[in-house]
A and B are shown apart, each in its own frame.
Chain A
């Protein structure tokens, strides 16, 4: 069992739909990252959180430390949101080594 599991692996949506990507982890963490990787390959950090909820534009990230679970929500999805979304956790015992999920491939059709 992977330490970080994402679901779904692939997601296809219609423009305007509300999207949720889930991340579950099995280790204690000090921080959780949501990353976005576009087809061109570049990686952008969307959120870094250790508790509660963060919002940036149409993106919302939540984390439940007790349940070891995080969700990334996209409201009013748009084709430009099509990308791979990667969850990564920073274990509590180390400040350097991120453990990555396998990513969720999101395709938003017009």
Chain B
């Protein structure tokens, strides 16, 4: 298996622009997580899907952030409009079932909002 695949690896955009991050989880994994990592706050859970359904989105910072999982093999995290404080590394991870199973992380998307 290729592991969790994220794209793009790097994204540089200007404030106000829409940003879409993509994730393909490992086949057969029922749970998908979006995390954000910053120097100040470390790793934070943004949203958790189980069987394509959002279960916990309490970590989504504000309405500018939205996430979808239209099927078991694809998820997107969208920021619209983007702001400089959104600059961070965004990780997608998947597991067979929830956070009580081993997590497999994608390589992350380094987002810079100028």
B107 touches A96 (CB 8 A): no
Q: Say yes or no: A45-B105 contact (C-beta < 8 A), given A96-B45, A97-B56, A100-B42.
A: yes
Contact pattern, A 39-60, Cβ under 8 Å of B = 1, otherwise 0: 0011111001010000000000
- Among the stretches B12-20, B21-29, B64-72, B93-101, the one at the interface with A is B93-101
Closest chain-A Cβ to B37's Cβ sits at a distance in Å of: 8
B103 touches A95 (CB 8 A): no
* Total of A-B residue pairs, C-beta within 8 Å: 62
Residues of A within 8 A of B42 (CB): 100, 102-103
> Whole-angstrom distance from the CB of B52 to the nearest CB of chain A?
14
Residues of chain A within 8 A (CB-CB) of B31 are: 96
Q: Which residues in chain B, 17-58, are within 8 Å of chain A measured between CB atoms?
A: 31, 33, 42-45, 48, 50, 55-56
What total of chain B residues lie within 8 Å of the partner, measured CB to CB? 26
State how many angstroms separate the Cβ of B47 from the closest Cβ of chain A. Answer: 9
| Distance of A80 Cα from B44 Cα, bound (Å) | 27
Number of A residues near B (Cβ < 8 Å) is: 22
A98 near B99 with CB under 8 A, answer yes
Which residues 50-99 of A sit at the B interface, judged by CB distance below 8 A? 50, 86, 88, 90, 94-98
Give 19 A-B contacts (CB < 8 Å), ordered by A residue. A33-B102, A33-B103, A41-B89, A41-B107, A41-B110, A43-B105, A45-B102, A45-B104, A48-B101, A86-B43, A95-B97, A95-B99, A96-B33, A96-B99, A97-B48, A97-B59, A100-B42, A100-B44, A103-B42
- Sort A-B residue pairs by CB-CB distance and give the 4 closest, nearest first: A95-B98, A96-B48, A43-B105, A90-B99
Interface residue ranges, B against A (CB under 8 Å): 31, 33, 42-45, 48, 50, 55-56, 59, 89, 91, 93, 97-105, 107-108, 110
